[in-house]
Amino acid sequence: MKNALAVLRAERGWSQADLAERLDVSRQTVNSLERGRYDPSLPLAFRIARLFDLRIEDVFDPEW
Amino acid sequence: MDAIESQPADARAAGSRLYGLYVLALALCLIGNLVMREGAQGGWLPPAGQLILALLATAPLVVAALLFWRLLRRDLDEMLQRIVLEGLAFALILYVPLAALYLNIRTAGAWTPRLDPPDILLTPALLVAIGIAIAMRRYQ
């Protein structure tokens, strides 16, 4: 599933490590999420959306 | 221990260290097994000593297993948990048919490599490593 994670992170000037710390996951997980190699669980998807103050469907889109 | 308890960013390194610790504990167990067999054959290790050595040699593996369980449950994030669990599933799913195939071929009288208990004990550890490597390639 594609997502806007890399763009949203870049807009805020965060590194992958910064985002990983904010989400309490590993940097490897952030990297895999951004590359669309790993689809997050629903709780993690909510955490990501809340962090960027967006809805889940604004961050993740299976149609992308 | 601190490295294992730290944040998920360190989880991969902690996992690698823990896997190394697990393999080391397995090696200690196998060395204990070897000493027991040599002692029994040579007659210099009494049965009580063999039993004590059996328990002592297995103790590090029990500790490593508990640490591994804790790392898996508490310290890995969801993707790393998934990678480890897929590695464990790969090992279990493959080990049973491999072991059954080996037993059947051996029973049929065809040539098979002679496997000692240590070889059989090492196989799942090797399969877990292969399974984790495959899962890591999939997600990273």
Structure tokens given for A55 = 């809805």
Chain A residue with the nearest C-alpha to that of B137: A37
Backbone angles phi, psi at B114, to 5 degrees: -80, 115
Q: Complex ipTM, two decimals?
A: 0.88
Flag whether the pTM goes above 0.90: no
Tell me the pLDDT tens digit for each residue of A9-20: 999 999 999 999
Nearest chain B CA: its distance from A32 CA (Å): 5
Nearest to B15 by CA among A20, A26, A22: A26
Side chain identity, residue B137: R
B120 touches chain A (CB under 8 A): no
What one-letter code names the amino acid at A32?
S
Best of B77, B86, B134 to mutate (most A CBs within 10 Å, chain A) = B77
Phi and psi (nearest 5°) for A3? -155, 170
Considering only the beta carbons, identify the residue of B11, B80, B140 that sits closest to A31. Answer: B140
Q: Is the pLDDT of residue A33 over 90?
A: yes
Cβ pairs A/B, distance under 8 A: 45
In a 3-state reduction of DSSP, which class is residue A55?
A: coil
CATH number, span A2-56: 1.10.260.40
B80 and A21 in contact by Cβ < 8 A? no
B63-96 pLDDT, tens digit each: 988 988 888 888 889 999 999 999 999 999 999 9
Q: Say yes or no for a CB contact (<8 Å) between B9 and A20.
A: yes
Residue of A nearest to B9 (CA): A26
